[in-house]
Amino acid sequence: MPLSMLREFLDRNRIQYLVISHSVAYTAQGIAALTHTPGKELAKTVMVMLDGRLAMAVVPASFRVDLYRLKKYLGAVSVELASELEFRGRFPDCETGSMPPFGNLYGMDVFVDQSLAEDHEIAFNAGSHRELVRMRFADFNQLVKPVLLPLAGKAHVHAA
């Protein structure tokens, strides 16, 4: 079960969390709707290549990662979305696209949009397209030690 590594880590650190099971959903907005979680409280993990190395950019579900801002704030030479081929092998315990924002468990940096720190709790995919974890943001911040930046941009509007 994909959740086991994350659950062991949270239990070992005596963190209180809630696991929410839901029917299969592949988009952050779909998960937010299924679990009745406001889009601004549900964090989605976006994989980026930052000067040639993988990193996690975490934004509210209703937003996209502003790659230009991330590049500017970090003083990076290049920042681009990572392809599935570039990151799939780094998360053997996760279904593709459902990685929890715990880069520290996978040896990579985590950059979190500062708006997520404004809420008491954070919710995120737990390694599968059927499970969500909700926990205190303060606990997440203490365990992951992400860099907080204003990196969320407005979501693209899709025409019908």
Q: How confident is the model at residue 141, as a pLDDT?
A: 97
C-alpha 112/C-alpha 28 separation (Å) is 16
Angle made by CA atoms 32, 18, 134, in degrees to the nearest 5: 45
In this prediction, residue 26 has a pLDDT band, given cuts at 50, 70 and 90, of low
Distance of CA 124 to the CA centre of its chain: 6
* Stated pTM of the model: 0.89
C-alpha 158/C-alpha 146 separation (Å) is 31
Q: How confident is the model at residue 8, as a pLDDT?
A: 92
Question: Domains of the chain by range and CATH?
Answer: 3-154 (3.90.960.10)
Residue 56's nearest CA partner among 112, 6, 116 is: 112
Average per-residue pLDDT for the chain:
87
| Higher pLDDT, residue 122 or 27 | 122
Q: How confident is the model at residue 129, as a pLDDT?
A: 81
pLDDT at position 145 over 70: yes
Q: How confident is the model at residue 47, as a pLDDT?
A: 96
Q: How confident is the model at residue 3, as a pLDDT?
A: 61
For residue 84, the SS3 value is helix
